[in-house]
Structure 1
Amino acid sequence: MAAGDERNFDYLIRSIGIRLKRRADLRLADYGLNSQQGRMISYIASHEEKGIIQKDLERVFQRRGASITSMLQGLEKKGYIERRISAADERQKQLFVLQKGKELIAEFEALFAESEQLIKDGLSEREQEELFRLLGKVDTYIERKQT
């Protein structure tokens, strides 16, 4: 940490995120995936019955269309997901997790639960609730300022 960074919220939040991402990326590297791709596969699997499309992922993962397109193309080439033209709207492609992806969902969920637990382990129940409340407040404030 550089001098002065110890009181910089942006630096600290990014540092925590990077540490958690690196940890997850190392675990998923054997599958040719990173943590973002693992989260995306899990999200698609848990929402595919509702008919999830790319726009949904753009909103949930807060990424631009081109970034999501690139990620989906990579997951499709690796055989984790597929896109099918929607019966309800031929202009849209619904997303589905293939068997290869479904076989990894339990591992993704365990990995993300471990990350969550790692955050919580150093905090009391009261501190966890307070941190969650404060981070939610900051997130809501920043979201309002962006619109």
Structure 2
Amino acid sequence: MTEQDTGRLLRKAANQLINNFDQFAANYGLTSMQMSVIDYLSRRHDEVVIQRDLEQEFNVKRSTMTLLLQRMDKKGLVVRKQALSDGRQKEVTLTNKSREMERLIQDYMKQQDNQIRQIFGQAEIEQFQRILNYYIEHTNEEN
């Protein structure tokens, strides 16, 4: 096997993963990022989630998340309101419309994870996660 640039392979794999998520999400009039936000919020239904939490979770700029949430708000997927803890921040909650899709999205995400776990052992998955976390943390330090 020839040596390959891991960064290029990671980018290629990420693009494929996003394409797969987009194909699934399109069945429900969503993008993969909208689907991921719904998944994140549904897993934290007992917590107050502010926009900054989403920015950190998805490693995106405030302007990117603002645009995404505005579009989701217009589609009736989320509600944004002033956070009680910080008037400068927006609290983000799911609507009934997006709650109807929660189980479908969670099942899809679990199915994707199970496919990987059927092929690779726990030690390989943990090593891969360490590599991914290195890329995430290393990139954040440089920016």
Q: Describe the superposition over 1:64-98 as per-residue Cα deviations: whole angstroms up to 9, x where unpaired.
A: 11110110011111111101223344333211100
- Structure 1: give runs of 5+ residues left out of the alignment: none
Match of 2:12 among 15, 34, 57: 15
SS at match of 1:104: helix
Q: Describe the superposition over 1:79-132 as per-residue Cα deviations: whole angstroms up to 9, x where unpaired.
A: 111012233443332111000001111111111122222333332333223333
User: Distance between the aligned counterparts of 1:75 and 1:63, measured in 2?
Assistant: 16
The runs of at least 4 aligned residues of structure 1 exceeding 3 Å deviation read: 87-91, 133-140
- The total of aligned residue pairs comes to 142
Match in the other structure for 1:26:
23
Match of 1:51 among 48, 53, 64: 48
TM norm structure 1: 0.82
> Identity across aligned pairs (percent)?
26
Matched-pair contact (CA < 8 Å) for 1:20–1:115: no
**Structure with greater Cα Rg:** 1
1:146 is aligned to 2:142: yes
Matched-pair contact (CA < 8 Å) for 2:38–2:98: yes
- Structure 2: give runs of 5+ residues left out of the alignment: none
User: Distance between the aligned counterparts of 2:61 and 2:134, measured in 1?
Assistant: 24
1:1-147 equivalent positions in 2, closer than 5 A? 7-140=4-137, 142-143=138-139, 145-146=141-142
